[in-house]
Amino acid sequence: MLEKVDLTKKVSKEEYKEKMEQLEVKLGRLQRESKALGIPVLIVFEGFGAAGKGLQIGHLIQSMDPRGFEVHPIKNETEEERMHPFMWRFWTKTPARGRIAIFDGSWYRRVLIDRFEKRTKSKDLPAAFHSINSFEQQLVEDGNLIIKLFLDIDKKEQKKRFDKLEKNKETAWRVSQGDRERNARYDEYASMMEDMLFKTDTDYAPWTIIESMDRRFATLKIYTTVIKAMADQIEKVKRQNAEKAAEKASVSKETSGAVDPVDEIAREADAQMRELQVSILSKADLSLSYTREEYKEKLDKLQKKLEKLHSELYRRRIPVVLGFEGWDAGGKGGAIKRLTARMDPRGYVVNPTASPNDIEKAHHYLWRFWRAMPKDGHVAIFDRTWYGRVMVERIEGFCTTEEWKRAYKEINDMEKDLYDAGAIVIKFWMHIDKDEQERRFKERQENPEKQWKITDEDWRNREKWDQYEDAVNEMLMRTSTDYAPWVVVEGNSKYYARVKVLKTVVDAIEARLKEE
Amino acid sequence: MLEKVDLTKKVSKEEYKEKMEQLEVKLGRLQRESKALGIPVLIVFEGFGAAGKGLQIGHLIQSMDPRGFEVHPIKNETEEERMHPFMWRFWTKTPARGRIAIFDGSWYRRVLIDRFEKRTKSKDLPAAFHSINSFEQQLVEDGNLIIKLFLDIDKKEQKKRFDKLEKNKETAWRVSQGDRERNARYDEYASMMEDMLFKTDTDYAPWTIIESMDRRFATLKIYTTVIKAMADQIEKVKRQNAEKAAEKASVSKETSGAVDPVDEIAREADAQMRELQVSILSKADLSLSYTREEYKEKLDKLQKKLEKLHSELYRRRIPVVLGFEGWDAGGKGGAIKRLTARMDPRGYVVNPTASPNDIEKAHHYLWRFWRAMPKDGHVAIFDRTWYGRVMVERIEGFCTTEEWKRAYKEINDMEKDLYDAGAIVIKFWMHIDKDEQERRFKERQENPEKQWKITDEDWRNREKWDQYEDAVNEMLMRTSTDYAPWVVVEGNSKYYARVKVLKTVVDAIEARLKEE
């Protein structure tokens, strides 16, 4: 989940002030509502040292009624705590119905800092993760809301903050030897965090990454996340209560026409969240291009290289899974054509993914993709993939909200299975901008040879560009992993895009062969 | 889950014949219904070698329409399968909607036979369990029904069956070197099975243990389990369909008065299941007793021993958790009194468990018990426990069916946390028969000193004896683990019961001290 985090987003002082005023009022209101409904809330702050957990908790509680929450700083265990099972200190701190418990550090320390410092042994990790998930699931099933925030900063920023703290006599004590050590071995620690996120990002208690380089941005995103989660939970409880009441009265549960203010808060938070969503796509530099000569030369070299690597893969029995997604007319077909140009056709298969047929519909949506997964030593290329679940199916309403929401984890699990079985897994997003798409659509329409490639549906999809962009950004964020990364391919220049795809595949294979 | 399995149950030929006739008709009917509703069903056969998987599958399919199911024998991987990720062969074999897939062996082989033979490495086990649970959860969330049957026989019986097979030329080939090896190291293999059951007995895909010493009994139980699970699933799907229809029509979802035949099948299967439920309690020999002299002598010796062990526990910082449950007037109080008679009062606490107060009700039901868990080196004794969830709360309807059903796993998880933190955990069921209870109740009523101990509620509970007995049997089966066993204490003789409790505690402590 940390793969695609963009840490550059900022918020101006003015925008911050204006938005915060509204958010603070909303949070106060939601706290009162959730108290009245008896909803217990746990808010967990985790993340890198000096990312600003303490400061952000300070901001968050400003708009809360102090009689309704409690902050639990989770530091080294006390004598008393050490003499109990690890989860004891957290179980005993779970909030009563209607109350909010805020954790500055949490039960995750056992699989983060304690793991890094080898207080948690490798062999005890599976049990630790089991305990954590069991704890959270039990609480959620009992009606608790768990909001998990992960504050992310990069290595350089962390070092800068530590330096600044140390320079000041009053704050120097806050930087420990351990902090410095974790900064020095930042990448190693980050990979433990990634592992933790993979194992505990559940549908009942999902993580939200808070980009924390800019403190104002982080505060806004934390407020928005908490508000959205609380508003959703309040809605849910109200709906359940209404259903129960209706069942008792045995009447239709038609609701009155009046708009619930919480409903409105939820909708606004949704819009705000989209705004704060860091757009991975918008970071792509679409001006990148190659001349025809550059293209020819690079392409030829890479294709020859891949030809050799392909037989080496076969010899070493390494399977490869390549997924292609992207905007309509984004250049998937052309890229696949150049990719496979010199590959031995006995060693790869291109699987075009159309709408599921009847037999496919009669199975789990992943079934047809599992069937097409390559044997050891073979390459499977998918032109459109299992990610349809979180794009077209989500947007067109072909599946329920619960279904596409849980699909991120299902897909991550499947790709992890492939990776664990030795496969190289890469997913490409063929990216172009809206103008370029229009140009290509028109060109297709005007060219009799290409007319078959363009349908009314393509134009209809184009109208939903913004919806797709949101869905794609969320997908890239939630499913780009170190074992199966997403690669955004800058595609306005077809030459550039095709070379990038080939080079990415070649590099990944070479890296793997070196490992072995 | 294998801790308390009783392998002695038998069924006569006549009873078998009579019951099977009805069951076969029902199964055929359910297959047709689930086909019409498009329910995909997976039936998994696992268990010890020679427990009769093949034979039982043969019985099961006899009453099914062969066009609706497929049997998948899962042996060593084929060349093709070995060249794919492990789960590939199972994903590709998942049934289409309305079809039944029967697995003779399954995806569990990776954590059973492959683990035993070290083809699965220790370090790969967590990922393997993750894959298994993810696979099953995804299928269930997609509407699949997964029925998991574990066929259990003991070491001696297994050896006998292997011997018999080997004597016959026609069947000798069926006994492999591996089979013999697993028989020789039966206990080791059984503990891997226990570990597997702990990690994969989920609420979405629970295991049913099939006691398979007597083939007729096993067949009956398999049929009943499958029928019950299918009938329940059919009911569920019908209810959901009705709700959806009602929502669309925006009318009340009042159902018609007619009894659905599937409903009746489900109820009958429920009753039958109870009958087949191996009663752990009925195996207790309540005639066991001691004379006053024997009692005095043993008690004195054990109490002195425990006194010493108690300070040794303190010195070594080992916590102990002792739970007492049992019939009203079963002798809990008396046993606890004798247990603690010579223990240093600074080192133990007795926690009486009454109905939860308001603050306790405002938390998860396990919260109050977590709070009372002992520090290292201390002993916590619970007079009634967290098992109230699956007894009184279940029977009196203080919690929902989903709640008490998932409580088995929640409780197992909690006790595992305690054990992992170094605790000795033992649960006692103080068992008396109905006549003995009546005698004690009357005695209490007649004795002015003891009248406070008996209330109208006690008499009311007594009327629900059978319901409690079912609940207790299920509880003992599902929550007696090697890390936190249940001990049924034969309690008609108070002398015998008290000595047994003391001796169990003394033995458990001594065993632990020896380990360290």
Q: What is the DSSP string of B13-79?
A: HHHHHHHHHHHHHHHHHHHHHHHHTT--EEEEEEESTTS-HHHHHHHHHTTS-GGGEEEEE--SPPH
The predicted pLDDT at position B250 comes to 64
Which among B128, B4, B109, B101 has a CA at the least distance from the CA of B47? Answer: B109
The predicted pLDDT at position A176 comes to 92
Nearest CA in chain A to B358: A96
Quote the tokens at residue A113. 């800092």
CB B149 within 8 A of CB B46: yes
pLDDT band, very low/low/confident/very high, at B350 (cuts 50, 70, 90):
very high
Interchain contact, A131 vs B413, CB within 8 Å: yes
**Mutation site for B-interface testing, chosen from A248, A414, A415, A419 by largest number of B Cβ within 10 Å:** A414
With H, G, I as helix, E, B as strand and everything else as coil, classify residue B146: strand
The predicted pLDDT at position B256 comes to 53
Nearest CA in chain B to A358: B96
- For residues B323-342, average pLDDT: 96
pTM of the complete model? 0.81
The predicted pLDDT at position B159 comes to 96
Report the alpha-carbon distance of residue A486 to residue A502 in Å, rounded. Answer: 14
User: Which chain A residues are closer than 8 Å to B363 by Cβ?
Assistant: 40, 94, 96-97
The predicted pLDDT at position A332 comes to 96
The predicted pLDDT at position A257 comes to 56
The per-residue b/e assignment along B175-213, b for 16 or more CB within 10 angstroms, e otherwise, is beeebeebbeebeebbebbbbbbbbbbbeebbbbbbbbb
Which residues touch B404 (CB under 8 Å, ≥6 apart)?
Answer: B389, B390, B393, B394
pLDDT in tens, A491-504: 999 999 999 999 99
Whether A371 contacts chain B with CB within 8 A = yes
CB B427 within 8 A of CB B323: yes
Nearest to B367 among A91, A98, A362 (CB): A91
**Mutation site for A-interface testing, chosen from B361, B404, B413 by largest number of A Cβ within 10 Å:** B413
Angstrom CA distances, A95 to A66, A84, A103, B362, stand at 14, 20, 11, 8
The residues in B 134-173 lying below 8 A from A, measured between CB atoms, are 134, 138-139, 141-142, 144
Report the alpha-carbon distance of residue A55 to residue A57 in Å, rounded. Answer: 5
Q: Is the pLDDT of residue B177 over 60?
A: yes
pLDDT band, very low/low/confident/very high, at B5 (cuts 50, 70, 90):
confident
Place of tokens 């632990």: B512
Quote the tokens at residue A201. 């990002």
Interchain contact, B96 vs A359, CB within 8 Å: yes
Quote the tokens at residue A394. 């989500």
Whether B258 contacts chain A with CB within 8 A = no
The predicted pLDDT at position A256 comes to 53
Interchain contact, B142 vs A364, CB within 8 Å: yes
The predicted pLDDT at position A6 comes to 75
Angstrom CA distances, B182 to A7, A89, B155, B164, stand at 55, 42, 10, 17
The predicted pLDDT at position A284 comes to 86
Q: Rounded to the nearest 5°, which phi and psi values hold at A102?
A: -110, 125
Which of the residues in chain A have pLDDT under 50?
none
User: Which chain A residues are closer than 8 Å to B80 by Cβ?
Assistant: 375
Report the alpha-carbon distance of residue A291 to residue A70 in Å, rounded. Answer: 62
**Mutation site for B-interface testing, chosen from A314, A320, A375 by largest number of B Cβ within 10 Å:** A375
Interchain contact, A364 vs B130, CB within 8 Å: no
Report the share of chain B in percent with pLDDT over 90. 77
Instruction: Give A41's strand partners.
Output: A100, A145
Instruction: Give B492's strand partners.
Output: none
Q: Is the pLDDT of residue B222 over 60?
A: yes
For the complex shown, is ipTM > 0.85? no
Interchain contact, B375 vs A421, CB within 8 Å: no
With H, G, I as helix, E, B as strand and everything else as coil, classify residue A259: coil
The predicted pLDDT at position B258 comes to 64
pLDDT in tens, B357-374: 999 999 999 999 999 999
Nearest to B250 among A124, A250, A252 (CB): A252
pLDDT in tens, B118-138: 999 988 998 999 999 999 999
Whether A352 contacts chain B with CB within 8 A = no
Interchain contact, A370 vs B88, CB within 8 Å: yes
Nearest CA in chain A to B84: A375
Which among A314, A331, A279, A310 has a CA at the least distance from the CA of A477? Answer: A279
Count how many pairs of residues, chain A against chain B, have C-beta atoms within 8 Å.
139
